Amino acid sequence: MRQPRITAFFSQVEKRSSPHNVSSDTHRLLALPSSIRRKIYREATARSDDDLYMDLNYWTYLDDEFPEPSEADFDAREDESAMFSWLVNANWQSRVPIGLLQTSRAIYEDFENALYSEYYFGVSICGPGGLDVLETISPGAIKALRFLTVRLVPCGSAVDGTTCQCLNFGSEPRSRERLSALGKLELFLDVHRHCEDVTKFSPQWERICHRLGEHVKPGRLSLYLICQADSIERARPFVEPLRGLPTLKDLGIRFGEKDPNQQSLRCAELDGLAKAIVLQAKKHDSFPFQDLPVEIQLRILKHTPLVSSLKMTFQGGRYSRRQAGEPEFDIAEEDRRDDGIRATEICRKWHVGFRERCCCDQFPLSFFLVSKHFRHLAMGVFYSENRIVVACSNLGWCASPRSRPGRVVVNPSPTPDVLSNLRKLSLVCEADMFSLVHPVVGLTSRARHFISVVDFLLAHGNLPRLTLEFILCDIRRLERRVILSLVEVLVSQPEKLEPGGHYNQIFDQLKRLAAAGLKTLFVYLYWNSGDRIDDVLIESDTPEKVFERWIMGNDYDSSKWATEQRPPRTMRPLCDDLWEDSWYGDG
């Protein structure tokens, strides 16, 4: 009897042993679009849209149960044993989808890439495992990593105004099982890291930087370093290894002092060292931008953060763009405090680790520090493409900014050579700014600022191309009667208009702009109550249209220039993001 060849059964054995179900499910999942797969991973990890920051030391999200990153700053909590018990009680291990990760290596790698590219990670030498977590993550995770904040501040020191304490289980170290990044159980040794010197971590930090340099993709990672250092000698071991990193998307370095009272040890030397490292790490291959035609340069700049879809509000000596209801913060004051390191203040858009480095809500200052030629182009694009909002209660828009020693002037006022590029201006004034006259000083500061803005536009503005929105706000009930009587006179018997009223003074200033060739004018009146007053007027004219024709001429019709319907006549103008309560008063 002839014995069959064993190779004849290979196809059947391979057919029986191949896991069709697993492979088909795997290919089916990976065939989905990347956005759909990321949503599946979010559901599998029970992550909400607010869980954007993850602590690598604890491998858990920071949500409402934890302090905000601006308050905690990745430091050790005062009672870490309570912190750990909270993590255990919250069943934090179940958030990592171990079953999904064990499906196949392709799923594992895809989830790893999505995880490390989507979260903003922070690590501290005081947390469980310290910096060891950066030495244990895989090269694929490092390649996907795009946001990392490292805190090199020892526990037990009060350099940031808080007292940091670590777990202390007694004289002997105690081990703890911790769930690692992708579901593996690893053993971490918690030692009492109460120390006053961080220099002993410099060899480990050097190894970490070398590992980051091998696997980080150029232009992808944003790295932020918080380090305790009161001298160049103490700071150099931590910043010099950064020179070996590839080009970073962003790099921020912040130093704090061991002794808050030694203010003379801060500033020049440490800031100079940090600036040199940052400039080198972010240095890209130069592109001959200035060799391009000016028209091409301007078109490129229009696609940068110089142009905003929101209105650029000038307030407090600087521009900012804010969504409705968002609180304002002042980047000029977000500096290091006298008592040492400030807590990390992640910007509201989660773009950067240090808020003052973000331009998502603020004037893009970095565009104006490249060169004089680049600055001139950037200023031209900024004033020609954005809608500028200026309140007369916020002084200084047309004044020269006052610089302070050692500080770059943030968001300067428009210079005469760039004001000709201004195309859209919203001027917000209060109704009583001319009615209050001091017997000694004369007009209020708001009225003087309003007149100076008009003079500035007459002297340097390109009025034939300017669209002006004049917003007269906070009109009280008694003043409303004055305005209505003025409107009735203008509609019925304009020759009987009596000069000298404070509203006449306001509109006389606008007439100066109209006489100089102002292109478009929109007048908005906002009362202190929502009562309708259109019924007192002849025909269907509104008070705004009456004042517009009085200023621009009887043939002027703003409706042909309007791109949006007039808002209701309320105390708040247009959108809430234009308005702040601080605009009331003399600023």
Between the ranges 100-109, 178-187, 424-433, 517-526, where is the mean pLDDT highest?
A: 517-526
Answer whether residue 353 is part of any domain.
no
Between the ranges 22-36, 62-76, 421-435, where is the mean pLDDT highest?
A: 421-435
Pair 277, 375 in one domain: no
Answer whether residue 350 is part of any domain.
no
**pLDDT for residue 586 is more than 50:** no
C-alpha distances in Å from residue 44, one per residue of 97, 100, 101, 325: 6, 8, 11, 33
Answer whether residue 304 is part of any domain.
yes
Answer whether residue 40 is part of any domain.
no
Pair 300, 265 in one domain: no
Sign of the CA dihedral with 245 first, then 277, 252, and 133 last: positive
- Rounded CA-CA distance 153/161 in Å is 12
Pair 108, 201 in one domain: yes
Smallest Cα–Cα separation from 182: which of 253, 256, 99? Answer: 99
Between the ranges 1-5, 198-202, 279-283, 352-356, where is the mean pLDDT highest?
A: 198-202
Higher pLDDT, 201 or 271: 201
Q: How confident is the model at residue 552 (pLDDT cuts 50, 70, 90)?
A: confident
Mean pLDDT of 250-274: 62
Q: Read out DSSP for 470-499?
A: EEEEEE-HHHHHHHHHHHHHHHH-GGGPPT
* Residue 227 domain boundaries: 52-281
* 568's tokens: 């209701």
Domain boundary among 220, 250, 281: 281
Contact status, residue 33 vs residue 39, Cβ threshold 8 Å: no
Answer whether residue 26 is part of any domain.
no
Pair 137, 272 in one domain: yes
Contact status, residue 529 vs residue 510, Cβ threshold 8 Å: no
Find all residues with CB under 8 Å of 121, minimum gap 6, and list them: 53, 54, 55, 56, 145, 147, 148, 149
State the pLDDT at residue 47.
Answer: 63
Domain boundary among 226, 252, 281: 281
Contact status, residue 43 vs residue 95, Cβ threshold 8 Å: no
State the pLDDT at residue 546.
Answer: 79
Higher pLDDT, 184 or 399: 399
Contact status, residue 225 vs residue 254, Cβ threshold 8 Å: yes
- For 317, phi then psi, to 5°, come to 85, 10
Query: Model confidence over 157-194: pLDDT tens digits?
Result: 433 333 333 322 222 333 333 333 333 323 233 333 33
Give the percent of the chain with pLDDT over 90.
0
Pair 132, 234 in one domain: yes
User: Which class for 100: exposed (0-12), middle (13-18), buried (19 or more C-beta within 10 A)?
Assistant: middle
Provide the β-strand partners of residue 225.
Answer: 150, 253
State the pLDDT at residue 438.
Answer: 55
Question: Where are the extended beta strands (E) located within 431-570?
Answer: 437-438, 442-443, 467-475, 520-527
Domain boundary among 281, 309, 335: 281
Contact status, residue 393 vs residue 447, Cβ threshold 8 Å: no
Pair 61, 184 in one domain: yes
Q: How confident is the model at residue 558 (pLDDT cuts 50, 70, 90)?
A: confident
State the pLDDT at residue 61.
Answer: 53
Pair 160, 272 in one domain: yes
Mean pLDDT of 98-104: 72
Query: Model confidence over 479-503: pLDDT tens digits?
Result: 666 666 677 666 666 655 655 566 7
- Rounded CA-CA distance 1/91 in Å is 65
**pLDDT for residue 381 is more than 50:** yes
The pairing of strands 120-124 and 60-61 is unpaired
- Rounded CA-CA distance 509/429 in Å is 12
Answer whether residue 18 is part of any domain.
no
Answer whether residue 449 is part of any domain.
yes
Pair 257, 319 in one domain: no
- Rounded CA-CA distance 427/388 in Å is 9
Pair 432, 462 in one domain: yes
Query: Model confidence over 29-47: pLDDT tens digits?
Result: 888 888 888 888 877 776 6
Q: How confident is the model at residue 474 (pLDDT cuts 50, 70, 90)?
A: low
Element housing 230 (H / E): none
Provide the β-strand partners of residue 387.
Answer: 424
Higher pLDDT, 406 or 209: 209
Pair 421, 548 in one domain: yes
**pLDDT for residue 582 is more than 50:** no
Count up the domains in the chain and report the number.
2
DSSP 91: T
Between the ranges 185-194, 364-373, 571-580, where is the mean pLDDT highest?
A: 364-373
Answer whether residue 83 is part of any domain.
yes
Pair 314, 458 in one domain: yes
Average pLDDT, the chain: 65
State the pLDDT at residue 173.
Answer: 31
Pair 210, 250 in one domain: yes
